[in-house]
Structure 1
Amino acid sequence: MAMALAGPAAAQIVVGKPTKTATVRPRALETAPRDNTGGKLLATGGVTQVEGAGGGGLTPWAVITGYGTDDQVGANAFLTKVYADDYRLTAYGGAIGLFDRVELSAAKHVFDTRQVGAALGLGKGYEFRQTVLGAKVRLFGDAIIDQDSWLPQVSAGIQYKDNERDSLLKAIGARSGNGTDFYVSATKLLLEHSLLLNGTVRMTKANEIGILGFGGTGNGYEPMVEGSVGYLINRNLLVGVEYRSKPDNLAIVKESDWFDLFVAWVPTKNVSLTVAYADLGTVAIRDKQKALYLSLQVGF
């Protein structure tokens, strides 16, 4: 659920005298047409992460959402459906990128327990709902332009999460129904190799990204590692893998790390579709949860 690595034009890097340039033109971009819908290369703003930030599906990237450059504004809206063996998750929302420096986002989660809700005495189809408000700031680096350097683009972000089931979450052992995640992401686009690398460190107390509250037997922040690797097969099609580690705070249920394999299709800068197979491990009282992940993004 990471996204495509490059777009419709080659990156140019100055070498020697200012009048001479060397062109980095990835194989996947050889036939890419020009696109005047935004200043950035095709898909370099990523898709929308499940919590609303620009990046991959499981983890945020350092890039700012949308296609706006340092004198433009970009924005995206998204709808994501996760069909697990025993659960359903719907996530939707949007994000705006301001001058390729600041990103503001909002997302809503609806987690349907289906038959598990009945088994827990909550009722069939009982839903947990939470709102996520996020902000991200690019600190330094440029994932696209800095092709003559190994320095990645680095951003810092925050995600405030508010779950509507506060009383129930405390009854199952969570310390709170709301909490805040803090993260730092580093993203590097290797355009010559059509490759994207991303790493994120997140400080969090969230149980199942906040769907089951925050904290538990311990209530301190823990550093969690997340990562994305993507390869651009052609200018519109990306395949890759993601990983997200998660804390294990609740005494009554075990929490697992997440892993996925994805394919992302980016026909234009205005729309993208991501399909993934996700291994979610144990979720609440059900283990071995495998899921189909579908995400549609529209924007500019």
Structure 2
Amino acid sequence: MDQPLIRLLAPLSLACLCAASPAAAQETSLIDGGKLLLTNGVTTIEGSSGGGVATWSTIAGRETDRGIGLSGHVTLIELPDYGWQSHGVAVGIANRVEISYARQNFDTRDVGTALGLGRGYTLNQNIFGAKLRLAGDIVYGDPLLPQISLGVEHKRNRDTPVALAVGAAHGSGTDFTLSATKLFLSHSVLVNATARLTKANQAGLLGFGTPGDDAHRVQFEGSVAYQLSRRAVIGAEYRTKPDQLAIAREDDWWDLFAAYALTDHLTVTAAYVDLGSIATFDQQRGGFLSAQIAF
């Protein structure tokens, strides 16, 4: 997906540069990188900007309202019985619109043998996302008005036969999110709340809905972060989950995280995550490590 986007944006960038006067070209840039550090968030496991497991109203990239931003991420989660890896890209347009793609790879390791899939069987999923900032600004403007964004994530499970075998109704589905985020700069505190409309089982890795319950359900995602310095942030997140599959209990997720901007463009996030029970294996707690590059 990143190559077509780059091919699309390159001619636009060239046209803007050619149309501008030399003086204007020095003053403006299509990729301006003018956001305050870390106010574009990091990247969630589903590819949207935000925290690690919670979506925020932030828009990907470091662009302001006159530019285009780009970001890419790689995330690893090490659990007692599983390995979770995701990678993807996102484009932010005028700090108003976000378009994202993520690929998730979930390694079942020895659990794959117990489930009859074979050792090291990997569940895969593609996620195509979009987000629109409706109102407010995460930093500026009315301190009582948060930045509010509406998002959509279309998920395509690449292992539909497995999802159906464990009791899911579908191999693909769509989540809808409504997020409100505000950074209280004078107190160095960020607060986020997201409502997610979903019928995904384990975020979609085990399919969507069940034959007896195929309705979307509202779930909550919350985040609180404290800015230690211009480059360092610590915080916590909580995400409720639907519990629909009869054969595999699904627990809520939470994490404790720290993010550090090594440069203006490279941010590293580390976290302790508790993902509860996954496919009958309990106490899936471990480490989360993510690297994001953004312009």
Q: Quote the offset at 1:37 in angstroms.
A: 6.0
Amino acid at match of 2:207: G
Q: Quote the offset at 1:267 in angstroms.
A: 2.4
The match for 2:68 is 73
CA distance, structure 2, for counterparts of residue 273 and residue 264 of structure 1: 6
Amino acid at match of 1:198: N
Question: Quick check: which one's helix share is greater?
Answer: 2
Query: How many residues are treated as equivalent by the alignment?
Result: 264
The match for 2:123 is 128
CA distance, structure 2, for counterparts of residue 124 and residue 172 of structure 1: 17
Q: Quote the offset at 1:175 in angstroms.
A: 0.3
4+ residue runs of structure 1 moved beyond 4 angstroms? none
Q: Quote the offset at 1:63 in angstroms.
A: 1.4
The match for 1:13 is none
Q: Aligned pair 1:283/2:278, yes or no?
A: yes
Residue 162 of structure 1 aligns to a residue whose secondary structure is strand
Q: Aligned pair 1:228/2:223, yes or no?
A: yes
CA distance, structure 2, for counterparts of residue 267 and residue 194 of structure 1: 19
Cα-Cα RMSD: 1.1
Q: Aligned pair 1:195/2:223, yes or no?
A: no
Q: Aligned pair 1:268/2:224, yes or no?
A: no
Q: Quote the offset at 1:236 in angstroms.
A: 1.4
Structure 1, unaligned stretches of length 5 or more? 1-35
List per-residue Cα deviations over 1:192-223 (Å, max 9, x = no partner): 00110000000000001000100024110100
TM-score, scaled relative to structure 1? 0.86
Q: Aligned pair 1:243/2:229, yes or no?
A: no
Decide whether the 8 Å contact of 1:42 with 1:268 is kept in 2.
no
Q: Aligned pair 1:294/2:289, yes or no?
A: yes
CA distance, structure 2, for counterparts of residue 245 and residue 135 of structure 1: 22
List per-residue Cα deviations over 1:140-184 (Å, max 9, x = no partner): 0111112x4311010000000001111221111000010000010
Q: Quote the offset at 1:122 in angstroms.
A: 0.8
The match for 2:150 is 156
Decide whether the 8 Å contact of 1:205 with 1:221 is kept in 2.
yes
Residue 228 of structure 2 aligns to a residue whose secondary structure is strand
1:1-300 pair list within 5 angstroms: 38-146=33-141, 148-216=142-210, 217-300=212-295
Amino acid at match of 1:272: T
Greater relative contact order structure (CA < 8 Å, 6+ sep): 1
Residue 170 of structure 2 aligns to a residue whose secondary structure is coil
CA distance, structure 1, for counterparts of residue 264 and residue 139 of structure 2: 16
List per-residue Cα deviations over 1:51-81 (Å, max 9, x = no partner): 0001111111111111111110111100000
Residue 71 of structure 1 aligns to a residue whose secondary structure is coil
